[in-house]
Amino acid sequence: MADNGNTPEGSTAPDGGFNRRRLFTLAAGGAAAASGILLPATAAQAHGELRYYSGIWGQNTVNASNAQLQSYRYRPSFHDKLNAWLQLWFENTGYEKPLRVWISGVHKDSGNAAQRQGRALNLDHIYVNHGSPTSQGAFQANYEIWGRGSGSGLTYARNNYWATAATLHYHFGTVRTYLNGSRVSVYVDNMTSGTGTTSFTRTESQILHVQASCRYIWGKGTTIDGEWGDQAKRHSHEVLERIGKGGYLGTSKSHWQAFNVATMRKGIGTESY
């Protein structure tokens, strides 16, 4: 079944969606929310070890469907990658904590293979400076909302969208955006990339990301068609030259990583290059 519990602010319960029997069962097993809660090997969790976590990188997660704090079940190694991702994202911005990471699902028994194993995530929003007068939305995934904007508002939303996508591509082999079937949230999983970081392997998702980044973040006017042609190669090479890396995306993993970090920093406005 899909996770559907709510965790109220300040609650130490691993998942606010517990019924009484489930709560007593976890309590008897010595469940502890802070470090993740190991679930028993029942039929519903037969796809490897799953644990409850109340947040990512120490920042609370929010159920995007009801705006309530919620814990989710993850494969621990996938959750570790999410921790590394959010740290990379935050450290390349000028934003302040606390963050609120809005998501619309992780583990789902009826989902695809990654979702059944707790190795997928649908990212919806990131809010920064939560609880302060300067609280703001730093990332909005729903293209149906921000894609209708215009002027500086559209530019801000689109730049932050592709900047955030760059940090996801840094860590995850599968990233789906509005350009390849995920228009409301950004979908990621680590079924191909595992516990490591990624290289440029010319997947359609990566090519679309490079083309969109070159066009919208780097001002190259790149055609977005998912084809790895001369224009995309040239424009991405020019970006690597501009940031002092040189070479091409496929030269090494470090070239792909440098492209994504620079795209993040320029898109968010941390560095102009």
**pLDDT, tens digit (0-9, with 9 covering 90-100), for 182-228:** 999 999 999 999 999 999 999 999 999 999 999 999 999 999 999 99
Please tell me whether the overall predicted TM-score, pTM, comes out greater than 0.75 for this model.
yes
Query: Is residue 53 within 8 Å of 81, Cβ to Cβ?
Result: no
Q: If you compute the radius of gyration of the chain from its CA atoms, what whole number of angstroms results?
A: 19
Which helix (H) or strand (E) segment holds residue 52: the answer is strand 51-53
Mean of per-residue pLDDT scores for the chain: 87
Query: Is residue 236 within 8 Å of 211, Cβ to Cβ?
Result: no
pLDDT band of residue 233 (cuts 50, 70, 90) is very high
Cα–Cα distance measured from residue 59 to residue 259, given in angstroms and rounded to the nearest whole number? 26
Q: Beta 136-140 vs 120-128: how paired, if at all? A: antiparallel
Cα–Cα distance measured from residue 201 to residue 231, given in angstroms and rounded to the nearest whole number? 17
pLDDT band of residue 126 (cuts 50, 70, 90) is very high
Cα–Cα distance measured from residue 163 to residue 139, given in angstroms and rounded to the nearest whole number? 9
DSSP string, 230-271: HHHHHHHHHHHHHTT--S-TTT-HHHHHHHHHHHHHHHHTS-
pLDDT value of residue 47: 67
pLDDT per residue over 161-175, tens digit each? 999 999 999 999 999
Mark 130-159 as b/e (b = at least 16 C-beta within 10 Å). eeeeeeeebbbbbbeebeeeeeeeeebbbb
